[in-house]
Amino acid sequence: MMTLPTHFIKTVTSTFTGGAEWLARLPDLLAVCERRWGVVIRPSTFTLSYNYVAPATLADGTEIVLKAGVPNRELRTEIEALRLYDGRGCVRLLDADADQGILLLERLSPGEMLTIVTDDDAATHIAAQVMQAMWRPLPAEHNFPSVADWAAGLAELREEFGGGTGPFDRRLVETAESLFTDLLASSGEPVLLHGDLHHYNILSAGDGWRMIDPKGVAGEPAYEVGALLRNPFTLFDEPDLKRITARRLDILAETLALDRERLRQWSLAQAVLSAWWSYEDGGDPADWEPTMRLAGVLAELG
């Protein structure tokens, strides 16, 4: 009998259609993976959220990571993104079965999250360098969602509250809507972005750093920094959030050679969208109020 964390079970069953059935099949699915790839899968030692992730060993003794999830579009675009990145600035995909929701990934070592770097300036520089290493041109044909596709989700906030903004600050929602319209209309050439690049998705690998868990989204590079500015979780305990955010924008603009004001605007619009997504996922104010606070800080920095 496989023992899974309660929060993982709750997340999978509430997020995915057929999630409960998939969880029931998971032991058999892992057994099939062991036979198919000749791997030995050990009990998970990772924090589980939407997917089951566990250490595994290939027949030749190589340590890898196996990731299994309910088959869905996001897992498919992750697989497609990892293939295009091909280990440049990111974890390497060894094999995958999109129909089964299975990924075999290299094991990054030592594999510590960027949160271990306590100097925020240094952590921000590292994240910027990872971005530079991984961004790739988009192929002529692809299935990645666009930033515009994601931004369209903000309209659902208005629908939820009958044209109003409910508990969300009206001024910030209106600002985000206006910014998305303007920024999308003036966007530069899109590239393949991670889409959720932050401290928990950047791991130490040898003497460098590489990212994991790309969403895979088509958009201009300036869009990428928004998730970083909303992390790590301890950021919102900082009394000087405004100074930290301003400093991060300075570093990112200089390191990435991107317009600081455009970075600020994308990040503000994204913060409101992210807060709305958190509301959709459960509605707990503790999940989205900090992000709206950051949106307010970014508005003040304009």
Q: Would you please indicate which residues are annotated as catalytic (active-site) residues?
A: 196
Q: How far apart are CA 47 and CA 59, in angstroms?
A: 25
Residue in the structure block whose two tokens are 């496989």: 2
Q: Beta strand pairing status for 191-193 and 110-113?
A: unpaired
Vertex 85: Cα angle to 99 and 118 (nearest 5) = 110
Checking 147-154 for CB contacts under 8 A at 24+ apart, the result is: 147/184, 147/187, 147/190, 147/193, 147/217, 147/218, 147/219, 147/220, 147/223, 148/184, 150/217, 150/273, 151/180, 151/184, 151/269, 151/273, 153/273, 153/276, 153/277, 154/180, 154/272, 154/273, 154/276
Is residue 94 within a helix (H) or strand (E), and if so which, with residue range? strand 93-97
Please choose, from the candidates 70, 73, 80, the residue with its C-alpha nearest in 3D space to the C-alpha of residue 50. 70
Which long-range CB contacts under 8 A does 57-61 form with residues at least 24 apart?
none
The Cβ-side half-sphere exposure at 104, using a 13 Å CA radius, reads 19
